[in-house]
Amino acid sequence: MVKLDNLTVSYRQHPALHHISGEFARGSLTAVIGPNGSGKSTLLKSVMGLLRPEGGRVSVQVPSARIAYLAQLTEIDRSFPLSVQDCVLLGCWSAVGAWGRVTPALLQRVQAAVVGVGLAGFEQRSVGSLSSGQLQRVLFARLMVQEADLILLDEPFNAMDSRTTEALLALIHRWHAEGRTVMAVLHDDEQVRQHFPQTVLLARELVAWGDTASALSQPNLRRARALSEAWDDNADICHIGEAPAPAPALRRAA
């Protein structure tokens, strides 16, 4: 479904992803996990075609209208004056088009999605007045009406209460059962082990990609942590318990 071939992506010459290769199979349910700044959002944006690779390529076997992307909540503008119903209706964009009509059937689809995420009665509320959990439910309802084949979620459960997380996890499982391909950036190893069969472990480079139990082995997690500590090249490196540090010019951050 999605193939990464020696993908390198940089921001102003600073590589955020190095030489990543691998494949997300059609119908797979994959967690993308790694320390802060390890390139997880960069990976999703590259699959969406929002960033241009500096090297290598991303091939996506699905038309862009069939891809749904949920950005990190912090990147979403909530001040836009939009009702819950209209916000979900935006997910039908490819069916409605610029000059198309909103048919009763479409409105029914929207209503079913609003009910499906537990927000019946909120249709006319403005999205700016919602809590983070309610807003995330709205955005999931929008993904539902999109009927996408490939769904990309960036930290969908960040700052969510446990009831919202459970409701959204159930939706992800339903999408998986329907044969959609889902990738989600997550933080919680335990949640990944419980709910996501496949895992990509990133630390700017690829640490592991495969079934979750082997990808999240202790040696792999240690390696991801060690790599992330090595990035902070301005910080003083901690040498507790080691032989006296060599002269600064010879220090290695590994």
Helix or strand holding residue 5 (H, E): strand 2-11
Dmax of the chain from CA atoms? 74
Q: What does the alpha-carbon distance between residue 55 and residue 248 come to, in Å, rounded to a whole number?
A: 32
Q: What gap in Å lies between CA 179 and CA 51, rounded to an integer?
A: 27
The distance of closest approach from Cβ of residue 188 to Mg ion in the complex, given in angstroms and rounded to an integer, is 14
Work out whether 180 is an interface residue with ligand ADP (CB under 6 A): no
Q: Which helix (H) or strand (E) covers residue 164, if one does?
A: helix 162-177
For the CA atoms of 58, 230, 194, 131, the dihedral, rounded to the nearest 10 degrees, stands at -80
Q: Which stretch binds ligand ADP (CB under 6 A): 32-40, 106-114, 124-132, 238-246?
A: 32-40
Q: Per rule CB under 6 A, is residue 136 in the interface with ligand ADP?
A: no
Residue among 30, 39, 153, 200 that touches ligand ADP (CB under 6 A): 39
d(CA 47, CA 57): 10
Establish if 41 lies at the interface with ligand ADP (CB under 6 A).
yes
Stretch that binds Mg ion, among 10-18, 38-46, 211-219, 220-228 (CB under 5 A): 38-46
Which residue sits closest to Mg ion, CB atoms considered? 41
Site for Mg ion in 41-60 (CB under 5 A): 41
Of the pair 110, 184, the CB lying nearest ligand ADP is at: 184
CA 171 from centroid of its chain's CA atoms: 15
Query: Minimum CB separation from Mg ion for residue 41, in Å?
Result: 3
CB nearer ligand ADP, residue 13 or residue 162:
13
* Contact residues for ligand ADP, defined by CB under 6 A: 11, 16, 34, 36-42
